[in-house]
Amino acid sequence: MKNSNSELAITPGYGIFHALLSGLSMADKRPFLEYMATANDIRRGMAISYNGDVAVVLDSQHRTPGNLRAFVQATIRSIRTGKSSDVRFSSTEKIEVIPMNTRRMDFSYKDGDDYVFSDPETFETVNLPPEIVGDAKHYLVENQPVTVTFVEDKAVSIELPSSVVLTVKDAPEGIRGDSANNVQKPIVLETGITVQAPLFIKTGEKIKIDTRTGKYMERA
């Protein structure tokens, strides 16, 4: 069922385990989660219960060191304190996975160090600190749509579209006589990020950037 932009939608899960949870209430999910989830299910981007807190998984690695028992090394960030820590789980250790929800929001402006996003329908705003926004800051301009992920009503991460259109702030002239098709030059975009672009790109033009690689795609 399709949701409006202002509605919360359950984030797509990670494999069959998460697919089985769709459509269940939190009360129904909890015993299932406690029975089914183990550390082997941990993936980057998930939210888990840890030491009485809820934490977002920033990175996870499955390791089997020689004859020792397999374990999962993970970096997690507490949604209560915002602090990150490295933790280790036995591969068969039971893990409670916390449902995550997403909402389409637009970037509005910076408020000190924070980035302010608003719901285009309800105009509700959310302030996110730079450690959550991360490298996405290089692609944020006013009204840029993003997907904000919430855990227990608290924003924990944002996701950019695969490409964005940005204005070229500064593009030096190409080197005269250099006509090779693959020759590029560094240009500065309106957000301050520097990327490599073809020699024909000029200041003031709009170009499309791949947010996954940070590379020039084409003129917009």
What letter would DSSP give residue 38?
Answer: B
Q: How far apart are CA 209 and CA 187, in angstroms?
A: 12
Cα angle vertex 189, ends 203, 104, to 5°?
A: 130
pLDDT of residue 14: 43
pLDDT of residue 209: 97
AA identity, residue 205? E
Q: Report CA-CA distances (Å) from 96 to 27, 45, 81, 86, 215.
A: 13, 14, 19, 18, 38
pLDDT of residue 6: 37
pLDDT tens-place string over residues 157-192: 899 999 999 999 999 987 655 555 678 999 999 999
Q: What are the start-end ranges of the E strands in 22-66?
A: 47-50, 53-63
pLDDT of residue 139: 97
* Residue matched to tokens 């309106």: 190
Helix (H/G/I), strand (E/B), else coil: 113: coil
pTM for the model: 0.69
**pLDDT in 10s for each residue of the chain, 220 residues:** 334 343 333 333 444 445 455 555 555 555 554 446 899 999 988 899 999 899 999 999 998 887 778 999 999 989 888 889 999 999 989 999 998 899 999 999 999 999 999 999 999 999 999 988 999 999 999 999 999 999 888 898 899 999 999 999 999 987 655 555 678 999 999 999 999 999 999 999 999 999 999 999 999 9
